[in-house]
Every structure is written in C-alpha cells, then in structure tokens.
Amino acid sequence: MLTLDKVSCDEFITSTSCDFDDYKNTLHWEYPDGCGNDVAYFKLFYFSSPSSDSSLIATTTQDFAFSHTKLKSFSGCYKILAVDHAGNVGQASDIVCNDNCPHVFIPNVFTPDNDDGFNDSFPGFMKISNEKLTPLECPRFVKSIDITIFNRWGKEVHIIKTTSQQFSNEWLGQDSSGKDLPSGINLVR
C-alpha cells in the first residue's frame, strides 16, 4: 500500500517565495498483516505522468518511507514493488500521483489609467512602477496563456499569447497598433 504526501496548494501559493525550487515528494508504504515476512527489499519507481514509462529511483530494505528530492516540480507518479529473498517480485502497488499547484493572478478589475500601481495591466502578472516591471504574483506551472480582448460590439481589439518565459507580455488598454482605447468598452475571453 503506497501513499504520497499531498501538497496543500493554498498554503504553498501563499507562503512560498517566487524563487522556491526545493520540490520533493514524500512517499510511505506498508503491507497487510501476514504478508511481507519474506520481503528482502522494495523497488520504488517514478513516472513523469501516469501514461509515461517508469524509472527505478530507489531500492530500500528497511525503510517504509522515501523522499524524492531535487525535483523541478511536484508533478509525478509512483509505484512500488516488493521483492522476496528468492528474487520473486510481488504485485505492483497502485500508482499514486501528485500534481503541481498552478497559479496565475488575473484581476477582476483593470484600471490602466489611474497610475496607482495595481491592476494597471492585464492579466496582471507584473506590476508597473517607476517604468519597471516587477512580478506581482508568482505565475507557477503555467505553460502559456492566450487571451483575446473584444470591444462591446464584438470587434477584436487585442490578443495576448504568452508563455511562462514571457509573462511581461501584458495588455495596457491599447489596441493592437498601440492606441489607447476608451474606458469601459472591453470584454475579455
């Protein structure tokens, strides 16, 4: 029986700095009473996704816990096998998986013309102050975002297509040619 300590996404997002990179998954296992008297060791396998190939990450004899450290994220799946002293391999455990905690801050108010430093750009990855862009929130585990902005008459006025390496690509309330749009007429999809 294999279990995986789950990450509290709310706690992780609110209490972890943007430069956090100490990702790990902690696993625990046990076997039913009456079984396991002849277990010589356990083989622990890792999958990047439930449908990918696995790789052996640990062989352990005594421990019933393992911390998979130095990961690039929390995402991953695991299974464990028991091997007896004669080399017979037992039935694989169920596969257990952990997901990342994707996070992007998208404000419900957009005020580009009041220069207060908040919600001055959309979707709101960066804060503009003193002509500099600084992270407002930590966008984590997000590959890309595509946003199309329409005016109230259904005419497309701006498109944002961004990847995690380009989160400074934000909308400042202008059309695609850089002209300021009037307040109160835009709709985001």
CA-closest candidate to residue 28, choices 55, 66, 57: 66
- The CATH number given to whatever domain includes residue 62 is 2.60.40.10
Look at the chain and count its residues: 189
- The confidence band for 133, taking pLDDT boundaries of 50, 70 and 90, is very low
CB burial class (10 A; 0-12, 13-18, 19+) of residue 184?
exposed
Q: Confirm whether 158 is domain-assigned.
A: yes
Q: Is the pLDDT of residue 97 over 80?
A: yes
**Highest mean predicted confidence (pLDDT) among 54-58, 130-134, 163-167:** 54-58
Number of domains in the chain: 2
**What is residue 164's predicted lDDT score, i.e. its pLDDT?**
58
Say which range, 32-36, 150-154, 163-167, has the weakest mean pLDDT. 163-167
Q: Confirm whether 119 is domain-assigned.
A: no
User: Can you tell me the mean pLDDT for 22-33?
Assistant: 87
Range of the domain at 60: 2-98
| Whole-angstrom distance, CA of residue 119 vs CA of residue 128 | 9
CB burial class (10 A; 0-12, 13-18, 19+) of residue 144?
exposed
CA dihedral over 104, 134, 116, 181, signed as positive or negative: negative
Q: Do residues 35 and 93 both lie within one domain?
A: yes
Say which range, 80-89, 117-126, 171-180, has the weakest mean pLDDT. 117-126
The two tokens of residue 50 are: 């439930």
Q: Do residues 139 and 83 both lie within one domain?
A: no
pTM of the model: 0.69
Q: Which residues contact 108 (CB under 8 A, 6 or more apart)?
A: none
Q: Confirm whether 113 is domain-assigned.
A: no
